[in-house]
Structures are given as structure tokens and as C-alpha cells.
């Protein structure tokens, strides 16, 4: 696919692509940041992700403040709603517990509050409705809540090793694909990596990093079935440092496809490995399913 206008260095379809995917790109970026913040406060942030968090904090003061405010913002929200709702209930109850609303019963000495039964029913309905609305507003579907296209998986290692030396055509294609991925231009990244794998099949057969970048880009681009198939090649391949990330992403893809049994089986396998990169993530997701 030709991404350039003839005679220029500008992308021919860049403006259309950015317009179409602007909203999803913003969502994915926020999800990635939220995942980093949560992992930081859980004490599970490692390696490249830890370095990436430090970079974001140094470049963006508002993000640094968000990291500090995480506990107060997220843990205090639920308590705030509960306390306010209880205050409202107390006011409603006080309004109807007046002398005018109390009727004496001659035989038993008991009293009837005419509005209490109606009030109790109304409160029960309100609790159900409010709880449902609050849950749906604060709890997105499991895939959207936990999926994040990590930037750290798309570092082009050969360019780092070459240190100014000329790299092969195959590596140049990979470098362009990784760059597109980091810019959240997932369609372009997918096209370049598919082309790389078709053109250089022997090299690509054991290039687990490129498989991972492709698989995650496919998930991010809503090509869920294709993404899980790509990630399966890593999971079923020889020993790879990218296997743990592939297992986690594959499980999320199965959840998106509503294949809950397959997702749970993988998450339970991850949960058995306490040193797994996504051990705590697997525990959290299993608690939601």
C-alpha cells in the first residue's frame, strides 16, 4: 500500500485517518495511562512500563499530579456517593416521621406511619435503579477496562544495536511499522507488518516481537479474531520473552469475542504463575467474570 503522495513526503491518507480514529486514539491513550497508574500504586510496574511512566511524569506535570491523586480520586468516589445518598435518605425519613403522619392503634398501642410503606418501596426502587446506573457508568466492559496497547513492546531493537549503521530493508519496514504503532496508526502498522511477513516468511516465522506488535495492533483496531490468531502463534511457539504479554492479550481478546471459558482457562493458567507479568491483572479480571 502506498502511504505517500507522489513527489511529496506527506501521508496521502493521514488527515482522513486521524479524523476517523481521533476519538478511539484518545480513549486508548487514556486507558494505557490508567493501566500504568494502577500498576504503579499496586507495586507491579516493571521494566519498560516503569520507564515509560517516569517519562510521562517528567514530560506532563498534570499526569504527574494525577498519579499522586489516584487513591483519593478513585477510592473516595464510592464513599462520597454512599454518604450523600444516606444523607438524602435521612432527610426523607425525617420529613415523614412527624406527628401528623403517626396514627395510634387502640388495641395494640402500635402506630402506623401512612407514608412509611410507600417510602420503603420507593427507596428500594431507587437503590436498584441508582446502583444499576452507577455500575454501568463506572464499569466499562472488561476488555475496554483492561486493554492497553503498550508502547514499550514496539521498540525497534535492531536500530538501537546498529548505532548509526545501515539496516536491512526488512528491518526498515519493521521500524516503520513500529513507529506507526507508537503513533497509534494501527491500520498502517498492520498493513506494513502483514507485508513484512509475506515478503520475509523465514525471518518472520520466529520474529515474535513483530507478531506481538501485529496482534496488539489488530486488537486495538477492532480486528479481534485476527489479533487472537496472531497472538496464538507466539503462545504456541518456542520460548519467547513476549509470550506472557501474548497470553494476557489473547485472554482479553477471547473476552471481547465472548469466549469466556477460553478466557478463564488462560487467566487461571496465568494466575498459577505468581511471577507472571500480568499475574495481578489476571486475578482482577477473574474477579469480574
pLDDT digits (tens, 9 = 90+) for 175-219: 999 999 999 999 999 999 999 999 999 999 999 999 999 999 999
Distance (Å, whole) CA 1 – CA 192: 8
Same domain, 157 and 245: yes
Structure confidence at residue 256 (pLDDT):
94
Where is pLDDT greater, at 222 or 6? Answer: 222
Nearest CA among 213, 217, 212, 218 for reference residue 232: 212
E strand or H helix at 112 = strand 111-112
**Is pLDDT above 80 for 283?**
yes
Same domain, 237 and 129: no
Give the mean pLDDT of the chain: 75
Where is pLDDT greater, at 183 or 58? Answer: 183
When pLDDT is averaged across residues 25-40 and rounded to a whole number, the result is 67
Domain count along the chain: 3
* pLDDT tens, position by position, 85-94: 556 656 655 6
Nearest CA among 45, 139, 42, 129 for reference residue 85: 129
When pLDDT is averaged across residues 156-165 and rounded to a whole number, the result is 64
Contact 154, 182 (CB under 8 A): yes
Same domain, 174 and 258: yes
Could you tell me the pLDDT band of residue 46, with boundaries at 50, 70 and 90?
confident
Q: Name residues whose C-beta falls within 8 Å of residue 32's C-beta, 6 or more positions apart in sequence.
A: 148, 149, 150, 151
Tell me the CATH number at 221: 1.25.40.10
Residue 103 lies in a domain: yes
Same domain, 177 and 212: yes
Where is pLDDT greater, at 27 or 234? Answer: 234
Residue 82 lies in a domain: yes
Domain that includes residue 263, residue range: 150-288
Same domain, 117 and 48: no
Output the CA–CA distances (angstroms, integers) from residue 239 to 83, 151, 233, in the order listed: 52, 22, 11
Structure confidence at residue 274 (pLDDT):
92
Structure confidence at residue 15 (pLDDT):
52
When pLDDT is averaged across residues 216-229 and rounded to a whole number, the result is 96
**Is pLDDT above 70 for 22?**
no
When pLDDT is averaged across residues 27-47 and rounded to a whole number, the result is 70
Nearest CA among 194, 204, 108, 213 for reference residue 154: 213
**Is pLDDT above 50 for 78?**
no
Output the CA–CA distances (angstroms, integers) from residue 138 to 74, 117, 159, 182, 246, in the order listed: 10, 31, 42, 28, 28
When pLDDT is averaged across residues 111-125 and rounded to a whole number, the result is 50
Same domain, 251 and 155: yes
Question: 32-41, 185-194, 211-220, 267-276: which range is least confident on average?
Answer: 32-41
Same domain, 154 and 244: yes
Same domain, 190 and 223: yes
What whole-number percentage of the chain has pLDDT above 70? 61
Question: 45-49, 81-85, 154-158, 185-189: which range is least confident on average?
Answer: 81-85
Q: What is the DSSP secondary-structure string of 75-104?
A: HHHHHHHHHHHHHHHHHHHHHHSSGGG-EE
SS3 41: helix
Amino acid at each position: 500500500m502506498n502511504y505517500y503522495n507522489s513527489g511529496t513526503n506527506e501521508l496521502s491518507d493521514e488527515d482522513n485517518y486521524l479524523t476517523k480514529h481521533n476519538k478511539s486514539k484518545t480513549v486508548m491513550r487514556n486507558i494505557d495511562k490508567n493501566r500504568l497508574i494502577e500498576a504503579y500504586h499496586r507495586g507491579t510496574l516493571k521494566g519498560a512500563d516503569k520507564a515509560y511512566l517516569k517519562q510521562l511524569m517528567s514530560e506532563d506535570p498534570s499526569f504527574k499530579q494525577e498519579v499522586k491523586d489516584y487513591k483519593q480520586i478513585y477510592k473516595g468516589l464510592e464513599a462520597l456517593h454512599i454518604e450523600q445518598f444516606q444523607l438524602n435518605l435521612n432527610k426523607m425519613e425525617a420529613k415523614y416521621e412527624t406527628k401528623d403522619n403517626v396514627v395510634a392503634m387502640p388495641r395494640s398501642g402500635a402506630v402506623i406511619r401512612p407514608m412509611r410503606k410507600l417510602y420503603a418501596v420507593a427507596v428500594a426502587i431507587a437503590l436498584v435503579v441508582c446502583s444499576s446506573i452507577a455500575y454501568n457508568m463506572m464499569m466499562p466492559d472488561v476488555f475496554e477496562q483492561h486493554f492497553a496497547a503498550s508502547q514499550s513492546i514496539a521498540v525497534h531493537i535492531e536500530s538501537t544495536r546498529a548505532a548509526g549503521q545501515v539496516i536491512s530493508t526488512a528491518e526498515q519496514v519493521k521500524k516503520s511499522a513500529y513507529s506507526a504503532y507508537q503513533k497509534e496508526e494501527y491500520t498502517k502498522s498492520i498493513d506494513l507488518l502483514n507485508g513484512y511477513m509475506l515478503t520475509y516468511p523465514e525471518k518472520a516465522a520466529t520474529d515474535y516481537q513483530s507478531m506481538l506488535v501485529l496482534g496488539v495492533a489488530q486488537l486495538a483496531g477492532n480486528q479481534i479474531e485476527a489479533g487472537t490468531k496472531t497472538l496464538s502463534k507466539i503462545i504456541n511457539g518456542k520460548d519467547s520473552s513476549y509470550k506472557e504479554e501474548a497470553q494476557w492479550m489473547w485472554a482479553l481478546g477471547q473476552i471481547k469475542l465472548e469466549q469466556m471459558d477460553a478466557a478463564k482457562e488462560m487467566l487461571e493458567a496465568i494466575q498459577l504463575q505468581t511471577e507472571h507479568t500480568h499475574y495481578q491483572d489476571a486475578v482482577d479480571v477473574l474477579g469480574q467474570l
